[in-house]
Amino acid sequence: MTEEHIREIDEPAAANSKAEATEEKEDWKSFGWFLVKLVIVVLIFRTFFFTSFNIPSESMMPRLLVGDYLFSQKWSYGYSSASLPFGIDAGDGRIFGSQPDRGDIVIFKHPIDRSDYIKRVIGLPGDTVQMVDGVLHLNSAPVGMERIEDYVLPVTPNHQCRSQRFATTTEDGAPACAYPQFRETLPGGASYNIMDLGELPQDNTAPVVVPEGMLFLMGDNRDNSLDSRFPAEPGRGIGLVPQENLVAEASFMYWSTDGNAEWLLPWTWFSAARWGRIGDGI
């Protein structure tokens, strides 16, 4: 075979190899741009629209349970360094800020340690808030409080009975807890269920006047919530919360699990799901 024939054979092969390398490089470049655009979209989504939050404690029972995962809308109360990612400094106050309504469930930054908390808005600026024998008083008047049926919750890895006196069983004989439950109605009409487990020191408090720019927040599980009835301490009470600490308004549940799932057993991810709670509005 002549040298000319060898060159004729080699040149197409080299051209094909070069074309393949160029095509592979373009594929990686396209994939890289896709990732960049995806990151930008996620950042915009998390900055201005929704953020995710999971329930780590029982302070908001019966409405929210340990193992609930929420989407929370960020535009409800405006934007501040508390609600922007990476602690971006937005200056003093909030951009496009608006005041929450009594009864809203809000996610906020603890006034001292800046960790995320979730509670219900009870007192707005100018309100006087006081607990008297376990009954919430706003501006010297008791709010509506009606005894309703006990809240029955099965025993799971995510929940054990707070005391043996609440132990019971479900209709199929499974262990459960039955907690005293009340329907509370605030001025303005917001109505929701709370739990009161008995007489405790936080059932009676001194009257507190909420200053301008602050909020009085409480958990629905009144005897198991470190909230505005307690002074602000890292990892404990929250005291009065500045409105600029608001992160988002709880919106709806996208997942809920009772804690029985195991990472190495994928089928348990589904058997542990509390399907009846998924998609619920808050």
Q: Which residues of the chain have pLDDT under 70?
A: 1-29, 31, 34, 37-48, 83-93, 96
**Structural tokens at position 174:** 């499974």
Q: How far apart (Å, rounded) are the C-alpha atoms in residues 153 and 151?
A: 6
Residue 6 has what pLDDT? 45
In which residue are the tokens 């997942």 written? Answer: 255
Residue 163 has what pLDDT? 87
Whether the Cβ atoms of residue 208 and residue 240 lie closer than 8 Å to each other: yes
C-alpha atoms less than 13 angstroms from C-alpha of 57 in its C-beta half-sphere: 17
Residue 80 has what pLDDT? 78
Residue 68 has what pLDDT? 97
User: Per DSSP, what are the bridge partners of residue 227?
Assistant: none
Element (DSSP H or E) covering residue 251: strand 246-256
3-state secondary structure of 145: strand
**Structural tokens at position 45:** 């989504």
Q: How far apart (Å, rounded) are the C-alpha atoms in residues 255 and 71?
A: 10
DSSP code string of 92-128 = SS-BT--PPPTT-EEEEE-TTT--EEEEEEEE-TT-E
DSSP 8-state assignment for residue 243: G
Residue 224 has what pLDDT? 94
Question: Cα angle vertex 160, ends 156, 164, to 5°?
Answer: 135
Q: How far apart (Å, rounded) are the C-alpha atoms in residues 88 and 113?
A: 17
In Å, what is the CA distance from 157 to each residue of 151, 172, 255, 259, 268? 18, 19, 17, 5, 13
What is the set of active-site residues?
59, 119
Question: Cα angle vertex 228, ends 99, 114, to 5°?
Answer: 75
pTM: predicted TM-score of the whole model, two decimal places: 0.81
